[in-house]
Amino acid sequence: MKTFWAKILEADDTFYEGPCEMLIIPSSDGLIGVMAGHANMITALVPGEMTYRLPGEENKTAAVAGGMVKVEAGEVLVLASSIERPEEIDANRARRSADAAREALLQKRSIREYRLAQLDLARAANRIRVKKKSRIG
């Protein structure tokens, strides 16, 4: 299978850099699959599950938060505020974050605070979903 160069970065670290056979990212327009030869594009990354396959390996998943993705000249750049492999996710902490976000949504707050609470809830729910799906701890 043909590969492309992927550089997947989170706010404070490099998640992965190297050849990749396939990448599926959650975008504001839905899931987008990227393979070698994909057309150039830029899109927003939303909280969700990212799936990727490295040469000679099985599909892997990770929970991603907001950011952006750029495909250009056969290379892919993913910039995310956070990316976590299933084994890195603390399910109890994610549940506590979801509970706190739900509580914040119930409080009478500004529109900005309400939207931030919605985003926090989406991130926490995504982390829980990715952890459960992986069946890791």
Taking only the tens place, the pLDDT of each residue in 45-97 is 999 999 999 999 999 999 998 899 999 999 999 999 999 998 887 888 888 88
Same structural domain, 71 and 117: no
Same structural domain, 21 and 63: yes
Q: Does residue 7 have a pLDDT over 70?
A: yes
pTM of the model: 0.78
8: enclosing H helix or E strand = strand 4-10
Same structural domain, 12 and 75: yes
Same structural domain, 22 and 59: yes
> Structural domain of residue 128, as residue ranges?
90-134
Q: What is the pLDDT of residue 135?
A: 66
Same structural domain, 42 and 100: no
Q: What is the pLDDT of residue 137?
A: 47
DSSP state of 37: T
Same structural domain, 79 and 115: no
Residue 34 near residue 24, CB atoms below 8 Å: yes
Q: What is the pLDDT of residue 136?
A: 52
Three-class DSSP labels, 55-106: CCCCEEEEEECCEEEEEECCEEEEEECCEECHHHCCHHHHHHHHHHHHHHHH
26: enclosing H helix or E strand = strand 22-27
The CATH number assigned to the domain holding 55 equals: 2.60.15.10
Same structural domain, 95 and 77: no
* Last residue within a domain, chosen from 84, 110, 126: 84
Residue 28 near residue 44, CB atoms below 8 Å: yes
The stretch 127-136 carries a mean pLDDT of 76
Distance CA 103, CA 108 (A): 10
User: 111-121: b or e for each residue (b if 16 or more CB lie within 10 Å)?
Assistant: eeeeeebeebb
